[in-house]
Structure 1
Amino acid sequence: MKSKTLTRSGLFESVYNKFGLSRSESADLVECVIEEICKAAERGESIKLSSFGTFFIRSKNERIGRNPKTGQEVSITPRRVMVFKPSTILKELVDTKNKSKL
């Protein structure tokens, strides 16, 4: 199965085709949305997109890890990571599409 990747330019084109904005206006709109999402993430806020899902920041504590090649233990520093939790609607949509391909 060949997978496709949705890119920024793909989003620009979709907005351009669907709403009839100029290509530059479509690009500006998509960039503005992405920028706002990034700013909210930097501030540690959750980003909830209705019927799509929620992005949120999770703090991970320091822990001991192991180098898989050498087996040597190393300390993994505490960090913040972004997590995505899909909505029930998105989960059902993906599941329905997968069942039709089987």
Structure 2
Amino acid sequence: MQEDQTMNKTELIAAVAEKASISKKESEVVINAALDTIIDSLKNDEKVQLVGFGSFETKHRAERTGRNPKTKESITIAASKVPTFKAGKAFKDAVAE
């Protein structure tokens, strides 16, 4: 079995810079701008859809009752807004190869 490998942001910046034949600094600016734009859109309840890659959107979780595992006491879990990602078909197919 293959050991889990993780690409961090610095490695992503370097890989994008190499693939796009741009500097690491330019790559970092572009990646940060893209991530900031996605985050800002989700904050405004806008869906971000990248055809062939996938879509980012927010889901609203209603207030619910939970249980404190230590004390077994019932607690109220506040309503929240969470980001979600759904991979597109082309992305899924590419990864499955």
What percentage of aligned pairs have identical amino acids? 28
TM-score for both structures, normalised by structure 1: 0.83
Alpha-carbon separation, structure 2, partners of 1:45 and 1:51: 19
1:73 aligns with 2:64: no
TM-score for both structures, normalised by structure 2: 0.86
2:29 is paired with a residue whose SS is helix
Give the drift of 1:25.
Answer: 1.0
Alpha-carbon separation, structure 2, partners of 1:63 and 1:83: 19
Give the drift of 1:65.
Answer: 0.5
1:48 aligns with 2:49: yes
Deviations 1:11-66 (A, max 9, x none): 21112111211121111111111111111111111111221211110111111011
Counterpart amino acid of residue 44 in structure 2: R
1:11 corresponds in structure 2 to 12
1:30 aligns with 2:31: yes
Instruction: Decide whether aligned partners of structure 1 residues 68 and 94 sit closer, same or farther in structure 2, where only a CA change above 3 A counts.
Output: farther
Counterpart amino acid of residue 57 in structure 1: T
1:64 corresponds in structure 2 to 65
Give the drift of 1:80.
Answer: 0.4
In structure 1, stretches of 5+ residues that fail to align are 97-102
1:88 corresponds in structure 2 to 89
Alpha-carbon separation, structure 2, partners of 1:60 and 1:27: 33
Alpha-carbon separation, structure 2, partners of 1:5 and 1:90: 18
Alpha-carbon separation, structure 2, partners of 1:51 and 1:10: 23
The size of the alignment, in residue pairs, is 96
